[in-house]
Amino acid sequence: MKWHTPGEFSPLMLVVDGPEKYILVASLWDAAQLLTACWPLDDGEEYLTAVKACRDAIHGDLPAEDAREALISAAKEAGIPVITVVH
């Protein structure tokens, strides 16, 4: 399993409501934790796609960057701004 693979997952920051305004997502572990523990919508199509993409990437069946893109799409669906880093 590839939970903590920061080299394969380009970091991004989500801007959320609440006391912790910015959430750094730097690995598949971070993405999976965010999606399953504190995501505001649990029935959106992009959300479900992101959960599946994270699971598949963790098991090595999908590149981590694909899971990252799915997370970005889920964030857009949920109205969560995303800050990405351009290399």
pLDDT of residue 19: 79
> Is residue 40 classed as helix, strand or coil in its secondary structure?
coil
Q: Residue 42 has what DSSP assignment?
A: S
Global pTM value:
0.87
- Who has greater pLDDT, 28 or 7? 28
Q: Give the Cα-Cα-Cα angle 59, 60, 64 (nearest 5 degrees).
A: 105
Using one digit for the tens of pLDDT, what is the confidence trace for 17-39? Answer: 877 889 999 999 999 999 998 89
pLDDT of residue 84: 81
Domain parsing of the chain, residue ranges: 6-84
